[in-house]
């Protein structure tokens, strides 16, 4: 397997990051936004040199040095859409960056550098000297220890994330000095840094502010008063992802390390973020970032409203909730709305998931036959689906990481993707599935009509595509019906192993080892072997069973365990490539089309936004570009 871009991950952990930072050491004098100059002159804010760390992070703008000011207008869909706004400004210690076409990398963000030992068991991080929270307090290893011992500790309702544990053993975090700390694992964790770029593990919390809400530091009375002032039932509600004190999306007072901080939090109709005057990055000319003063998120309910806002020029930059099916409409209105549709490459593949362990045992046995899955696959004319449903913009393919992903297997994405009805019919005949009643449908071995029920949830699906597929399968004598259900019902059915065939895109392909559930049968959205996946997860479900002794899943799980504890990233990558090769023999699912373009609406006044990047959850969607260097043209 050729994996061109991956060697980068390990090399970055070496002193290169540090050398890069030292090279740009501040001989420059720093500049700042005009609205901050006013505050400095009024004496309410220290000058920019005192606010920045000794060695700021230097971000190279994509096109040109920007100008300060302005508001970036976008839209959000409600309380559950909090990840959208957050992905523009996650306070990460390391961040994914795109380094070339189909190439990405990881860089230290609020750490100045990091390194790992030979065996990938210990990782050392260096905090930027003079790094400050958004209220001006210094960031030290105290804040790191506070995060791990108290925020994620045993006295708090919030558990440790999977990334920081191996089985029942937690990582050990040690403060070497005020600015240096180590994370040690019992077993090697070669993907730790890459996963840190994606998982929701922030590595530090502002102790000087948040400790007042913690039982270790505050009395019961103080906690009760704090809960009352935030209008929640108890101090526990102040913590966690949507905790009223901890969440940087809900609490304007919590200090953060993000380029912007919330000033008007939800449930407002218009949520506002404003610049963090202590943000630690500068551009190549020494201008403190971000350029943009303010981000406003307008609440919308219906996709058509957002489309109209786009056409009216009310959106400056947004991809979330913009559907590829609206491409013609969005292009038509470019001039009227004074924007441009910028295309990034998506890595999702629309996929059907035959549950090979479904409670209908006859169907389960059929799905386990490679010939049956092949017949279902090659009976679909993927070109037609692409033309009709995706305006010809996507790629007909089998489900697997598309081109541009860190680990790519050409054989997998091409397997059983050619349209061949005759062969499909021959295969089904060969399995003894014949139409004996003359009604156009084949019969199953137990005499019932061969029928597949596809369950899909309103959340993600494209009903047009599924209706086309039903027709293709009806053509080869397989009766197909659709069951469109609410998202929670979909998951309920998966969790009870009652689903026969699911529909959900395969995603997170950029670097699939970070979240390999699609291949290990452990993702509930992608139910191709629910009972087997539950066996692996060991959650005590009654129906959980091990796959047959010679089943490929055993090899996949072994390789996956090996990859997660390999002593180097290269070794992990090689095992990841093996996993794809195993799936490329006889794919367990029915991938249809994928790698569809992702559309960004970029107003003509928005500068420094690149095109042609990869958009994937792993690399944090739009967060792969430093949003700090975007600017509003005057």
Partner 1 sequence: MTGYIIRRILWFVPTLLAVSLVSFAIIQLPPGDYLTVLEAQMGAEGDYNPEVVARLRERFGFDQPFIVQYGKWMWAMLAHGDLGYSFEWRVPVSSLIGEYLALTVVVTAATLIATWVIALPIGIYSAVRPYSLFDYIATIIGFVGKATPNFLLALILMWWAYDTFGADVSGLFSPEYANAPWSWAKVKDLVSHMWLPLIVLGTSGAASLIRQMRANVLDELQKPYVEAARAQGLPEWRVILRYPVRVALNPFLSTIGGSIPELFSGAVTTAIVLNLPMAGPMLLRALVSQDMYLAGSFIFILSVFTLIGTLISDILLTLVDPRIRFEEA
Q: Which residues contact 395 (CB under 8 A, 6 or more apart)?
A: 386, 402, 593, 594, 595, 596
- Confirm if 380 and 351 have CB atoms less than 8 A apart: no
As a whole number of Å, the end-to-end CA separation of the chain is: 48
- Confirm if 548 and 356 have CB atoms less than 8 A apart: no
Name the 3-class secondary structure at 208. helix
Block residue for tokens 């000033």: 263
Window contacting partner 1 (CB under 8 A); options: 174-182, 281-289, 488-496, 527-535:
488-496
Window contacting partner 1 (CB under 8 A); options: 11-19, 239-247, 443-451, 556-564:
239-247
Contacts to partner 1 from residues 416-445, by CB under 8 A: none
Shortest Cβ 89–partner 1 spacing (Å): 16
Q: Which helix (H) or strand (E) holds 104?
A: strand 103-108
3-state secondary structure 118-182: CCCCEEEEEECCCCECCCCCECCHHHHHHHHHHHCCCCCCCCCCHHHEECCEECEEEECCCCEEE
- Confirm if 613 and 333 have CB atoms less than 8 A apart: no
Shortest Cβ 264–partner 1 spacing (Å): 6
Shortest Cβ 272–partner 1 spacing (Å): 7
Window contacting partner 1 (CB under 8 A); options: 168-176, 323-331, 522-530, 567-575:
522-530
Give the Cα separation of 568 and 118 in Å (integer): 8
Judged by CB under 8 A, how many residues of this single chain contact partner 1?
60
Site string for partner 1, 257-276 (x = CB under 8 A): -------x-xxxxx-x----
Cβ-based burial of 631 (10 A; exposed 0-12, middle 13-18, buried ≥19): buried
Shortest Cβ 476–partner 1 spacing (Å): 32
Shortest Cβ 72–partner 1 spacing (Å): 13
Q: Residue from 31, 149, 236, 475 that binds partner 1 (CB under 8 A)?
A: 236
Shortest Cβ 268–partner 1 spacing (Å): 6
Window contacting partner 1 (CB under 8 A); options: 33-41, 139-147, 484-492, 550-558:
484-492
Give the Cα separation of 544 and 553 in Å (integer): 14
Site string for partner 1, 147-176 (x = CB under 8 A): ----------xxx-xx--------------
Block residue for tokens 């029920």: 453
Window contacting partner 1 (CB under 8 A); options: 11-19, 34-42, 307-315, 433-441:
307-315
3 backbone dihedrals φ, ψ, rounded to 5°:
-130, 80
Contacts to partner 1 from residues 490-509, by CB under 8 A: 490-492, 508
Residue 413: both structure tokens together: 């994405």
Window contacting partner 1 (CB under 8 A); options: 56-64, 103-111, 311-319, 394-402:
311-319
Q: Residue from 242, 444, 479, 554 that binds partner 1 (CB under 8 A)?
A: 242
Comparing CB distances to partner 1, the nearer of 291 and 490 is: 490
The one-character DSSP state at 586 is: S
Give the Cα separation of 240 and 503 in Å (integer): 31
Q: Taken in order 610, 613, 617, 620, is the CA torsion positive or negative?
A: negative
Shortest Cβ 350–partner 1 spacing (Å): 15
Shortest Cβ 271–partner 1 spacing (Å): 9
Name the 3-class secondary structure at 617. coil
580 backbone dihedrals φ, ψ, rounded to 5°:
-65, -40
Shortest Cβ 269–partner 1 spacing (Å): 4
Block residue for tokens 């019932």: 448
Decide if residue 586 touches partner 1 (CB under 8 A).
no
What are the contacts of 113-116 at 24+ separation with CB within 8 A?
113/15, 113/17, 113/18, 113/21, 114/13, 114/17, 114/193, 115/13, 115/14, 115/15, 116/13, 116/192, 116/193
Site string for partner 1, 604-633 (x = CB under 8 A): -------------x----------------
* Helix, strand, coil percentages for the chain (3-state, nearest 5): 35, 20, 45
Shortest Cβ 580–partner 1 spacing (Å): 19
Q: Residue from 300, 367, 441, 473 that binds partner 1 (CB under 8 A)?
A: 300
Site string for partner 1, 64-103 (x = CB under 8 A): ---------x----xxx--x--------------------
Shortest Cβ 110–partner 1 spacing (Å): 21
* Of 38, 180, 213, the residue nearest 113 (C-alpha): 180
Window contacting partner 1 (CB under 8 A); options: 179-187, 207-215, 421-429, 485-493:
485-493
Shortest Cβ 238–partner 1 spacing (Å): 10
Residue 313: both structure tokens together: 């020029």
Contacts to partner 1 from residues 444-463, by CB under 8 A: 459
Residue 615: both structure tokens together: 């958009």
Block residue for tokens 């023999």: 585
Shortest Cβ 322–partner 1 spacing (Å): 16
Shortest Cβ 85–partner 1 spacing (Å): 14
Shortest Cβ 311–partner 1 spacing (Å): 7
Comparing CB distances to partner 1, the nearer of 218 and 264 is: 264
Site string for partner 1, 184-213 (x = CB under 8 A): --------------xxx-------------
Comparing CB distances to partner 1, the nearer of 270 and 361 is: 270
Q: Residue from 126, 132, 214, 244 that binds partner 1 (CB under 8 A)?
A: 244
Q: Residue from 110, 114, 309, 511 that binds partner 1 (CB under 8 A)?
A: 309
Block residue for tokens 């390789």: 559
* Of 519, 513, 574, the residue nearest 349 (C-alpha): 519
* Residues at the site binding partner 1, with contacts judged by CB under 8 A: 73, 78-80, 83, 157-159, 161-162, 198-200, 231-234, 236-237, 240-242, 244, 250, 264, 266-270, 272, 296, 298-302, 304-305, 308-309, 311-312, 314, 336, 459, 486-492, 508, 515, 523-525, 539, 617
């Amino acid at each position: 397997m050729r994996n061109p871009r991956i060697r980068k991950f390990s090399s970055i952990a070496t002193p290169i990051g540090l050398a890069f930072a030292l090279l740009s050491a501040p001989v420059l004098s720093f500049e700042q936004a005009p609205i901050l100059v006013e505050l400095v002159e009024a004496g309410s804010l220290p000058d920019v040199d005192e606010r920045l760390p000794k060695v700021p992070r230097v971000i190279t703008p994509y096109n040109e040095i920007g100008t300060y000011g302005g508001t970036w207008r976008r839209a959000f869909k409600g309380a559950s859409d909090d990840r959208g706004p957050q992905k523009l400004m996650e306070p990460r210690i390391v961040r994914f960056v795109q380094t070339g076409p189909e190439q990405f990398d990881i860089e230290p963000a609020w750490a100045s550098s990091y390194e790992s030992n030979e065996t990938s068991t210990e990782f050392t991080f260096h905090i930027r000297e003079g790094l400050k929270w958004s209220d001006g307090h210094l960031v030290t290893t105290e804040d790191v220890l506070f995060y791990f011992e108290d925020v994620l500790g045993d006295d708090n309702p919030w558990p440790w994330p999977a990334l920081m544990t191996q089985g029942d053993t937690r990582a050990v975090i040690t403060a070497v000095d005020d600015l240096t700390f180590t994370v040690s694992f019992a077993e090697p964790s070669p993907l730790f840094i890459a996963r840190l770029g994606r998982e929701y593990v922030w590595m530090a919390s502002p102790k000087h502010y948040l400790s007042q809400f913690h039982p270790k530091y505050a009395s019961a009375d103080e906690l009760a008063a704090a809960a009352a002032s935030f209008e929640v039932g108890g101090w526990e509600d102040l913590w966690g992802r949507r905790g009223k004190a901890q969440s940087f999306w809900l609490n304007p007072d919590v200090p953060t390390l993000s380029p912007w901080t919330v000033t008007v939090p939800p449930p407002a109709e218009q949520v506002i973020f404003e610049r963090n005057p202590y943000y630690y990055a500068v551009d190549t000319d020494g201008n403190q970032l971000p350029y943009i003063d303010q981000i406003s998120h307008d609440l919308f309910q219906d996709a058509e409203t957002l489309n109209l806002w786009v056409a009216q020029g009310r959106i400056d930059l947004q991809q979330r909730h913009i559907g590829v099916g609206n491409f013609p409409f969005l292009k038509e209105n470019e001039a009227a709305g004074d924007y441009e549709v910028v295309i990034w490459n998506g890595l999702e593949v629309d996929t059907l998931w035959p549950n090979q362990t479904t409670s209908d045992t006859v169907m389960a046995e059929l799905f386990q036959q490679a010939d049956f899955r092949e017949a279902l696959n090659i009976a679909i004319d993927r070109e037609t689906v692409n033309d009709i449903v995706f305006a010809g913009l996507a790629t007909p393919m089998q489900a697997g990481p598309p081109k541009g992903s860190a680990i790519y297997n050409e054989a997998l994405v091409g397997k059983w993707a050619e349209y061949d009805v005759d062969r499909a019919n021959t295969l089904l005949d060969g399995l003894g599935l014949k139409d004996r009643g003359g009604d156009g449908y084949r019969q199953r071995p137990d005499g019932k009509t061969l029928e597949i029920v596809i369950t899909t949830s309103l959340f993600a699906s494209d009903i047009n595509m599924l209706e086309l597929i039903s027709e293709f399968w009806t053509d080869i004598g397989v009766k197909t019906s659709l069951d469109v259900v609410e998202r929670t019902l979909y998951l309920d059915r998966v969790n009870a192993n009652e689903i026969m065939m699911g529909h959900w895109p395969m995603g997170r392909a950029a670097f699939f080892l970070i979240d390999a559930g699609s291949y290990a049968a452990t993702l509930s959205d992608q139910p191709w072997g629910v009972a087997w996946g539950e066996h692996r997860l060991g959650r005590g479900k009654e129906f959980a069973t091990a796959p047959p002794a010679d089943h490929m899943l055993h090899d996949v799980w072994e390789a996956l365990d090996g990859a997660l504890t390999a002593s180097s990233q290269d070794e992990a990558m090689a095992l990841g490539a093996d996993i794809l090769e195993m799936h490329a023999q006889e794919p367990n699912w029915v991938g249809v089309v994928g790698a569809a373009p992702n559309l960004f609406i970029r107003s003509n006044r928005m500068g420094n936004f690149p095109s042609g990047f990869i958009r994937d959850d792993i690399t944090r969607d739009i967060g792969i570009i430093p949003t700090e260097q975007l600017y509003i043209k005057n």
